Amino acid sequence: MHTPVTIIGAGLGGLTLARVLHVHAIPVTVYEADSSPSARAQGGLLDIHDYNGQLALEEAGLMEDFRAIVLEGRQALRVLDEDGTVLLDQPDDGTGGRPEVQRGDLRRVLLDSLPAGTVRWGHKVSGVRSLGDGRHEVAFADGGTAVTGLLVGADGAWSRVRPLLSSAAPEYIGKSVVETYLFDSGSRHPAAAKAVGSGMLIAPSPGKEIFAHREKDDTLHAYVGLARPRDWFAAVDFTDPVAATARIAREFEGWAPELTALITDSDVAPVLRSLHALPTGHRWDRVPGVTLLGDAAHLSAPNGEGANLAMLDGAELGRALAAHPGDAERALAAYEQDMFPRSAKWATDDMPGLDSADNTAQGLIDLFTEHGM
């Protein structure tokens, strides 16, 4: 017999786990703080890799559904210098292993693959406590509770489940990004649209950088990164979009206008995202009846692997539970034994830090060349 599983968090990792458990006929309930699937925007493009994220989707039996939502051509890459000089213009020839999809579309595919009622919406966790013998009680903000014999924290960076296992907490990495959106870019923002091209734009510089994606419906979604302390961003009044946009743009004075337009021409108020990470190699001793996946387990600086690793965590945990019916502790131990080194490996990469002197367009291209990309 299988122990019913309780998952906290209906992000990509938690839903992948729920889907794999459903495939193996293991009872599962997902509790999510959002009031509905459409309660908030689900972020931008994700490149789903053939060496982790796609493996998770194969385990979930959803590769055909995944291929149906891939945005063709979005693996194209352009690297520009600050003055707008194009140093790399790599088209999407269809042979890459990182097809792009909208996060919201991928989440919908996972949700649609689950039986109605699997996800309990509007259940914000206020606390979790151990009842002994591997059982835990989850308390919700509305006063309700749930008791479970197998609890999985898939609840992200500020996980309410993590304290059962670890005292570690995310710390600011010295960098934040400001998100902007330019709609109908071909007709309304042609210079910026030309700079971005059909896929992704990277314009790096020591201490600052601009990333941008061409999303569905001719939308440009930019991530403006700055290596600044939190106090610096706290002094920017993001309640005044015009003033905030001008303050951020000032840090890019002298850059090509088609690049700074990704800041100044935003069709929405700029959104600040402070970036945090758990200690590299974060792990814990085995605690009966509970584990973590995704950012709850191994939040790291953004490197393109976070969503992919969360999904692979979910698939691997689901497979382990299916392989050890009646012995959840053995399954959790096997899952964690593989997950710890995997997440530590991908928490570090060869990319220069934002504040590095090597964080330049030519430095990035040299790195691509060194790795045969």
Kindly list the strands in the beta sheet with 200-205, ordered across the sheet, starting from the edge strand earlier in the chain.
Answer: 86-90, 77-80, 200-205, 208-214, 220-226, 171-182, 271-277
Provide the pairing of β-strand 28-31 with 151-153. Answer: unpaired
Instruction: Please check if 47 is assigned to a binding site.
Output: yes
3-state helix, strand, coil in the chain (%, to 5): 35, 25, 40
162 marked as binding residue: no
Cβ count near 248 (within 10 Å)? 23
User: For residue 86, what are the contacts with CB-CB under 8 A and spacing of at least 6?
Assistant: 78, 79, 80
The reply to whether 295 sits in an annotated binding site is: yes
103 is in an annotated binding site: yes
**Would you call 214 helix, strand, or coil by DSSP?**
strand
Alpha-carbon distance values, 277 to 9, 156, 302 (Å): 19, 11, 9
Q: Are 37 and 109 in contact (CB under 8 A)?
A: no
Tokens 């919908």 map to which residue? 108
Question: Residue 183, SS3?
Answer: coil
State the DSSP code for 2. P
Q: Which residues are annotated as a binding site for NADPH?
A: 40
Binding-site annotation, residues for FAD? 47, 103, 295
Q: Provide the annotated binding site.
A: 40, 47, 103, 295
